[in-house]
Amino acid sequence: MMNKLSFKIGMLFFVFIVLVEVLLFFVLYTNLANNQVDEVMDNLLARGNTHRDVLEDNYSRSTMDHVRIMEAASDFVVVITDTQGQVLVKSNPIEYEIEQVIQRVIQAPIDSKGEIVEKRWKDKKYIASDSLIVIDNEIKGHVLMFAKTNKVKNMLDQLSYQFKIIGLLTLILTIITIFILSKLITAPLKRIKEASEQIYNENKQIDLNTKRKDELGVLARTITRISKDLDQLKAERTEFLSNISHELRTPLTYIKGYADVLNRPDLSGKDTRKYSLIIKEEAEQLSLLVKNLFDLAKVDQNKFDINKEWVSLCEIIQSVTERMRPAFNEKQLTIDTKCPADLIALVDPSRLQQVLINVLDNAKKHSYENSVITLKVKEDLQHINIIVDDEGEGIPKEEIPYLFNRLYRVEKSRSRLSGGSGIGLTIAKEIVESHGGVIHIDSEIGVGTTVTIALKKGEISE
C-alpha cells in the first residue's frame, strides 16, 4: 500500500493542500483577528472619549445618568469613577474583571487623556479603555468603557471551524483521489509491469490492447510492439540459424564426398583434377558464404561503415565489368554498358562495387547463354539510376517482395549451378539504403529481370 504509486501521489496532493490551507488559515486568522480587535478598541476608546468630553463640559449627576442610560442599551459597559476609584455611575453590575481594571487604573494612572487599558482579548472577558475627566487642569475622575471579547472570539471560532471542515474535505478528497488514481494510473501500470515481466521471464508474446490516448496508452502499445518484434526476431533467428547450417552443410558434404572419391586408388589423373577442382570451387563458395555472413553480421550491428568519396561512376562500372568479363565469357554473355563519362557521385566505391557485383552475378547466373546484359546509368532531376537488365529466366511476381530477405532464394533446391546462398541482395539493399538510395526489381518470367538502383541526387550528386 505504502509503496503504491497512487498512494504516493495522493499523499503528495494531501500534504500540499494541507500546507496551503495552514498557510492561508494563519494569514487570514491573524489578519481578521487583528482588524476586528483594532476596530473594537478604536470604537471603544472613541465612545469613552466622547462621554468624557460631554462630562468635561457639564460635570453633573444628570449628565452621568444620561451616559449610563445610553450605554445600558448598548453592547458596552460604562463605569464612571472618581479619582479614588469610587464608582459614581455604572451601566451594568460590576464584575470581578471590571473591578480589577478599575483598581489598576487608580493605582497606575495613564499618561494621556485617554487610552486602551486592557488589550488581552484572548484571555480576558473584556477589553477596556480609560478616559480621564479633566476640568481646570484637575483630574475629576475616569470614564471606563468595557467591550465583551466573546464576539471576536466567536467570529474566530467560526473561522477555525470552517477551516477544519475544509481540512476534512481535503482528507476525503485525498482518499477519493487516491482511489481514482489507483484505478486510472496504477492499474494499467500494474498490467504493463506484469506484461513486461512476462516478456522478460517467459519470453511470451503479450497483447496489452488499450484504447487510451495518453502516455500510458503509448507505453502499453510500445511494449506490445516490442514483444511482437521480439517474438518475430526469435522466429527469424531460429529460421536463420537453420538456414545457415544448411548452407554450410551443403558445400561441406560435397567437399567430403569428393575427397572420399579422390582417395579411391583406381582414379585416373583426369578425374583427380576434375574432383579437386570441384573441391576447390566448393571451398571458394564456402569462404564467400562466410564473408557474406560476416557482412550480414556487420549490417545487423550497424557496423557497416560507408566511406563516401567523390568518384566517377563510369570508372567503378568499368572496373566491375572488367573483373567479371571472364565469368561472362564462360557463358558467352555480352555486357553492354552505357554511362555518361563525366558523372561523378559521392559514394563508397568499394561498397558500390560490391552491390554491382552482386547484381551482375545474379544476372549472369540466371541468363541464358548468348544473351545480353545491359548496364546503363540514367540521370533524372532527382536521381542517378543504375539499371541492370538481363534476358534471363525472370522471377515469378509473387517471389519479388521476398528477394531482399536474408537467405531467400527463388529456386529452393540448392543446385550447385545456380547455387547462391541468398545473401547477395540483402547486403546490396543494405548498402544502397545506407547511401540514402533504393533498390528495386522488376521481372517477367521468360523475358528477363531489371534491377534499378536509384541514388538520390541531393546527397550523391555530380
Ligand X SMILES: Nc1ncnc2c1ncn2[C@@H]1O[C@H](COP(=O)(O)OP(=O)(O)OP(=O)(O)O)[C@@H](O)[C@H]1O
- # binding residues, ligand X (CB under 6 A): 22
Using the minimum distance from each CB to ligand X, give the nearer residue, 131 or 292: 292
Query: Shortest approach of ligand X to residue 344 CB, angstroms?
Result: 28
Residue number with the smallest Cβ distance to Mg ion: 424
Can you point out the beta strands (E) in 283-347?
A: 309-312, 334-338, 344-347
The SS3 call for residue 143 is strand
Which residues from 279-338 bind ligand X, rule CB under 6 A? 292
Contacts of 255 (CB under 8 A, 6+ apart): 279, 282, 283, 286
Rounded Cα distance, 441 and 395, in Å: 9
Stretch that binds ligand X, among 13-21, 37-45, 93-101, 358-366 (CB under 6 A): 358-366
Of 39, 61, 62, 63, give the one whose Cα is nearest residue 51.
63
Residue 347 φ/ψ, nearest 5 degrees:
-140, 170
**Radius of gyration of the chain from its Cα atoms, rounded to whole angstroms:** 52
Select the binding partner of residue 411 from ligand X, Mg ion, none (C-beta < 5 to 8 A, by kind). Answer: ligand X
Length of the chain, please? 462
Piece of 112-120, 244-252, 342-350, 388-396 that binds ligand X (CB under 6 A): 388-396
Indicate whether 395 belongs to the interface with ligand X (CB under 6 A).
Answer: yes
Q: How far is the CB of 3 from ligand X (least distance, A)?
A: 54
Interacting residue with ligand X among 48, 114, 188, 424 (CB under 6 A): 424
- Smallest distance from the beta carbon of 358 to Mg ion, in angstroms? 5
For 404, the grid coordinates are 531482399
**Contact residues: Mg ion, CB under 5 A:** 362, 420, 424
Is the Cβ of residue 98 or residue 335 nearer to ligand X in the bound state?
335
Q: 395 contacts which partner out of Mg ion, ligand X, none, CB within 5 to 8 A by kind?
A: ligand X
Residue 264: strand, helix, or coil: coil
Q: Is the CB of 308 or the CB of 365 nearer to Mg ion?
A: 365
Instruction: Choose which of 147, 362, 432, 454 interacts with ligand X (CB under 6 A).
Output: 362
Specify the residue, 71 or 295, whose C-beta has the smaller distance to Mg ion.
Answer: 295
Cell of 89: 455611575
Buried b or exposed e, range 167-201, using 16+ CB within 10 angstroms: eeebeeebeebbeebbeebbebbebbeebbeebee
Residues near ligand X (CB under 6 A): 292, 358, 362-363, 366, 390, 392-393, 395, 403, 408-411, 420-426, 449
